[in-house]
Structure 1
């Protein structure tokens, strides 16, 4: 498929890559649209009777505990089965879960307990489906392709986020917020079908060796072992922890500010959707116009550094004036730079590691490590409040985390350049017509 002049304005795509780019865009669009249809519902439950009676640190700890079971189970699947079977299976498993939740909500079976389980489940679901997506992308595309294509692919996710939030905001009241579950179920099936199309493209165009399309192999705890023995993966894990910790502090501040207003549950869904919508509109603009150009011209170091710097500035500003509008501004800028610059750059780093590291260590980092950061932040906030710290004190006490985050990001960019050059040496010795084995 020949790239259109319109498409070439946004991305440097080659003729044989157009199909994969469009399927990847649609894949991430449906995945993120489905999640963000439900995220305002989860957040509304977090400020209503379902979850409000339970301390936040226990919710985050419960999510981390579920991850301790889910990650080894996922590692066992990818060790035995090829990606084109495992990924659709995972998405359809989550689809069945959604239908089960709909029945429980509709029949009003133990509403408070089910709301808490749903809150934890959606937190697990989000990290798993997105982590699997980016592992698959790193498996499909070489590092050079990722630099050119990841910006627009990430834009597909942001467009999906905006669509999901608009659906949640406009349909939660007239349709009933519980019925939003059906929208996500349909979109999950679309995501599974995109995986099958991309697997077919990789087989027909990229011509990977059988080992790349087959099972990953290894043990169920391989992700933890790989993380413990690789300084590069440890740094990636620290970067995720710092992002997770600072995100959780902002999320808890958002919940407290929204909770100060008296709203029913459907109105809360719309309120949270509005906040997320501002974040994602700015993200989409940056992803479409800035990401690819910045990665190619200024490099990973700058792309990875922007979000930590904005986080430090934002925390200081919110400590001085904690308001809903300033929170929206901080979250919009921080979220936009994270999704448009830092996240695609971090995912690009995984193109320099082995398949087992890509599927197992990455999954461990994106799920266990991320939710561990959530739990750490929640317990830290509770401890600081016990010591007498208010909102401003908590933000000021945790602002230095952004400095550590910046240092780790610069380390990763430097070592990524070394790894990429090391991979290019054997590639230069290959025959000119060889296709990249991703």
Structure 2
């Protein structure tokens, strides 16, 4: 039975322990986050749709402050120390928010800060997770294993909103924060176990893995500017976040028109997350590794841009809740099951400093910078009289440009992964 399962999952014997801990790590991480996500989305609407661009801008500014701090930590501490420190910091933050929400007069400002914090937390902890994975596994391993590892995250992403949908009414939204913190604490154990596996299996091939990365605290940003390859990833991220933000803002407007009750909106967001993650985990377990192997990084990266172009065309013709929900389910499932593992393969061909510092800057500052710019662009178009239909039409050529950039990046990754490089 074990041999059959190993063949089905395309695992080698020495990889099984690491993949098991990585699967659990990502499960706990996304379960923790997805308990918070429906609360964040509801707080975004409750705070007023007009405030969303400002909140996105605040998130971007928070990222600008966080990246040099992360660079400072990784420059001076080895991996086995800075990874638990990052997660410990966010656990402490969650407990602080739990206390702040107990003060009624602080509720409005705490809700806005919480929205920004969750947006920072989400990208930061997931970026650090994938930096760790691309540091542990090579490109050829990633094609086989990243889909399976990502399925652990999706299982957690199913568990999180399910817990929220079941518990939000009887215990209240704020009382879910300690549960999220407890799940996040479990990731630290997984980090320790993966570190021990790496010491046993990888230390001979990579003795520098337990050393501080060194370099400048702003090295992540300077590495991006100096590399055409990393600049290509930055453009990929900007186009991705622009289109994702357009969908998010359209979702906020359509959901606000469709539901008047806060609890109903929170439940809708939780059920949407549940549908997305159920489809995602099935795709990750049955399709992702085979798709990455057959289409390669280039073909896999180009799939979501093409799907997004088609989705925006349909949304332009019929901007209603059912179409939006269907588009969001397919788009986000494609992102998590195919695009994210394929995007992480782009970093398997770069050095360790780039894997942690440049990747973190791309996943946080560039990502949220794109969010902020797209948020103001959406608001500006609305102010000029553009409706949701016209904005969806504008998104179609952006999706096509995204597809071209995606294919070029996959082609470059394949070239850089060849032995002569």
Normalised by the size of structure 1, how large is the TM-score?
A: 0.93
Is the CA contact (8 Å cut-off) linking 2:49 and 2:253 kept in structure 1?
no
Matched, 1:394 2:391: yes
> 1 CA distance for matches of 2:337 and 2:406?
16
Matched, 1:279 2:283: no
Q: Which moved more, 1:208-217 or 1:172-181?
A: 208-217
Aligned match of 1:436: none
Given candidates 162, 167, 170, the residue that maps to 1:171 is 167
Aligned match of 2:75: 79
> 2 CA distance for matches of 1:216 and 1:230?
19
What's the offset of the Cα at 1:265? 2.9
Aligned match of 1:144: 140
What's the offset of the Cα at 1:7? 4.2
What's the offset of the Cα at 1:137? 0.2
Aligned match of 1:34: 32
Given candidates 60, 67, 83, the residue that maps to 2:63 is 67
Normalised by the size of structure 2, how large is the TM-score?
A: 0.97
Matched, 1:204 2:200: yes
Q: Which moved more, 1:241-250 or 1:366-375?
A: 241-250
Given candidates 93, 96, 100, the residue that maps to 1:97 is 93
Q: Residues 296 and 53 from structure 1, CA distance in 2 versus in 1: closer, same or farther, beyond 3 angstroms?
A: closer
Figure out how many residues of one structure are paired with residues of the other and give that number: 420
Q: Unaligned regions of 5+ residues in structure 1, if any?
A: 427-438
1:217 partner SS: coil
Q: Residues 104 and 54 from structure 1, CA distance in 2 versus in 1: closer, same or farther, beyond 3 angstroms?
A: farther
Is the CA contact (8 Å cut-off) linking 1:44 and 1:269 kept in structure 2?
yes
Is the CA contact (8 Å cut-off) linking 2:259 and 2:265 kept in structure 1?
no
**1:302-342, CA deviations, whole angstroms, 9 ceiling, x for partnerless residues?**
11111000100101110110111111111111111111111
Query: CA RMSD of the aligned region, Å?
Result: 1.4
Aligned match of 1:5: 4
Aligned match of 1:255: 252
> 1 CA distance for matches of 2:261 and 2:295?
47
> 2 CA distance for matches of 1:144 and 1:308?
24
What's the offset of the Cα at 1:261? 3.4
Q: Which moved more, 1:382-391 or 1:226-235?
A: 382-391
What's the offset of the Cα at 1:408? 0.6
**1:250-279, CA deviations, whole angstroms, 9 ceiling, x for partnerless residues?**
111111111113443333221110112111
Aligned match of 1:21: 19
Aligned match of 2:298: 301
**1:32-88, CA deviations, whole angstroms, 9 ceiling, x for partnerless residues?**
11000010001111111xx21752111110000011100000011001001111111
> 2 CA distance for matches of 1:374 and 1:128?
15
**1:378-398, CA deviations, whole angstroms, 9 ceiling, x for partnerless residues?**
110111112211010111112
Aligned match of 1:382: 379
Matched, 1:419 2:399: no
What's the offset of the Cα at 1:213? 1.9
Given candidates 326, 335, 338, the residue that maps to 1:338 is 335
Q: Residues 3 and 357 from structure 1, CA distance in 2 versus in 1: closer, same or farther, beyond 3 angstroms?
A: farther
> 2 CA distance for matches of 1:184 and 1:242?
31
> 2 CA distance for matches of 1:285 and 1:209?
34
> 1 CA distance for matches of 2:49 and 2:4?
55
Aligned match of 1:434: none
Q: Which moved more, 1:22-31 or 1:54-63?
A: 54-63
What's the offset of the Cα at 1:214? 1.1
> 2 CA distance for matches of 1:122 and 1:22?
27
> 2 CA distance for matches of 1:315 and 1:370?
21
Aligned match of 1:114: 110
> 1 CA distance for matches of 2:294 and 2:390?
39
Q: Residues 289 and 42 from structure 1, CA distance in 2 versus in 1: closer, same or farther, beyond 3 angstroms?
A: same
What's the offset of the Cα at 1:4? 4.3
> 2 CA distance for matches of 1:310 and 1:229?
32
Aligned match of 1:241: 238
2:173 partner SS: helix
What's the offset of the Cα at 1:232? 0.4
> 1 CA distance for matches of 2:420 and 2:301?
26
Is the CA contact (8 Å cut-off) linking 1:158 and 1:284 kept in structure 2?
yes
> 2 CA distance for matches of 1:197 and 1:4?
23
> 1 CA distance for matches of 2:104 and 2:210?
44
Is the CA contact (8 Å cut-off) linking 2:315 and 2:323 kept in structure 1?
yes
Is the CA contact (8 Å cut-off) linking 2:56 and 2:371 kept in structure 1?
yes
**1:393-421, CA deviations, whole angstroms, 9 ceiling, x for partnerless residues?**
11111221111111111111111111001
Q: Unaligned regions of 5+ residues in structure 2, if any?
A: none
> 2 CA distance for matches of 1:109 and 1:7?
55
